[in-house]
Homo-oligomer: A and B are copies of this chain.
């Protein structure tokens, strides 16, 4: 069966949506053909098909990019804003949080903002402190925003189609290390609904709840744990907020043990909400404390040795699973 990479899946989903609706436009730095179709080439070939009026290369002006997308969205367009790296959302949070997220509510439902904010980030490429942050927890705390991140190429394509179709703003987070990941080609018009998690690996003993690149780590660890006789279930949230509480609770009800894993800084991260919710809803039904695993409490260091020490690592996950299963005996 033929394969696609995550980059190809994203490009195809955007292409399909643009072919369908004149209102789908893309704004971002270097995104047009003249600049090579984006620094990660996700918009390669689209300018040739849809023109520079729909694929707009922008100045380095994230507030203007985001605001222009918000404004166009208010008229019924479905803009896609590309923020080159996630750390740069820090220069346009106002447009995202005070405007995109709130205009539907503040207008009493008269307007809405069907906007997709694409951005990429990731630890492990040596980009250092200002180019590697995972800030999904900030957005999850803002009513009015949905946050999505794919862990494989097929989901990337399907989630992007769903995000563009969504009538509310969606933050779409891509992991820089995952663009090359391959999946079986899901074919044209593949859609993965927002808000639905995937049970990527069935298991009985412990639930590993995660999203994005760390899903790969979780699956690898689950495989290794099998040899030790520990059956780990892996839940790929896919939509981080609002997350699929039913799926999470069903899994943890079954296993009685949960590990919440993400690459972002652990302290005050999304794992805290997931852990708190599990504890609230399954009080007295857990066989072991919910464990959170996340990034270290520091800026992301540049030196590779430090960067590798910063990221949650597989041994840590394995250890947590063993400890959870052993808990109490």
List chain A positions with a Cβ less than 8 A from chain B: 63, 87-91, 93-94, 96-98, 101-102, 105-106, 128-130, 133, 135, 137-138, 140-144, 241, 264-265, 267-273, 275-276, 279-280, 283, 286, 288-292, 296-299, 301
Total identical chains = 2
A49 CB to nearest B CB, Å:
35
CB closest chain-B residue, reference A281:
B289
- Interface pair A129/B141, CB less than 8 Å apart: no
A128 CB to nearest B CB, Å:
7
- Interface pair A283/B289, CB less than 8 Å apart: yes
A143 neighbours in B (Cβ, 8 Å): 265, 267, 296-299
- Interface pair A267/B129, CB less than 8 Å apart: no
A119 CB to nearest B CB, Å:
14
Q: Which of A133, A143, A298 has the most CB of B within 10 A?
A: A143
- Interface pair A299/B141, CB less than 8 Å apart: no
How far apart are the CA atoms of A18 and B96 in the complex, in Å?
A: 37
A133 neighbours in B (Cβ, 8 Å): 97
- Interface pair B141/A269, CB less than 8 Å apart: yes
- Interface pair B267/A271, CB less than 8 Å apart: no
How far apart are the CA atoms of A264 and B129 in the complex, in Å?
A: 28
How far apart are the CA atoms of A268 and B276 in the complex, in Å?
A: 9
- When A91-B94, A93-B90, A137-B137 are in contact, do A290 and B279 touch as well, CB less than 8 Å? yes
A290 neighbours in B (Cβ, 8 Å): 276, 279-280
CB closest chain-B residue, reference A328:
B284
- Interface pair A130/B98, CB less than 8 Å apart: yes
- Cβ-neighbour of A241 out of B128, B268, B292 (below 8 A): B268
5 A-B residue contacts at CB 8 Å? A101-B299, A143-B298, A268-B270, A276-B276, A283-B286
How far apart are the CA atoms of A37 and B135 in the complex, in Å?
A: 36
CB closest chain-B residue, reference A291:
B280
- Interface pair A267/B273, CB less than 8 Å apart: yes
CB closest chain-B residue, reference A101:
B299
How far apart are the CA atoms of A289 and B278 in the complex, in Å?
A: 10
A288 CB to nearest B CB, Å:
7
Give 6 new A-B contacts, CB below 8 A, not counting A105-B129, A141-B269, A276-B292: A140-B267, A142-B265, A268-B273, A272-B272, A275-B280, A280-B291
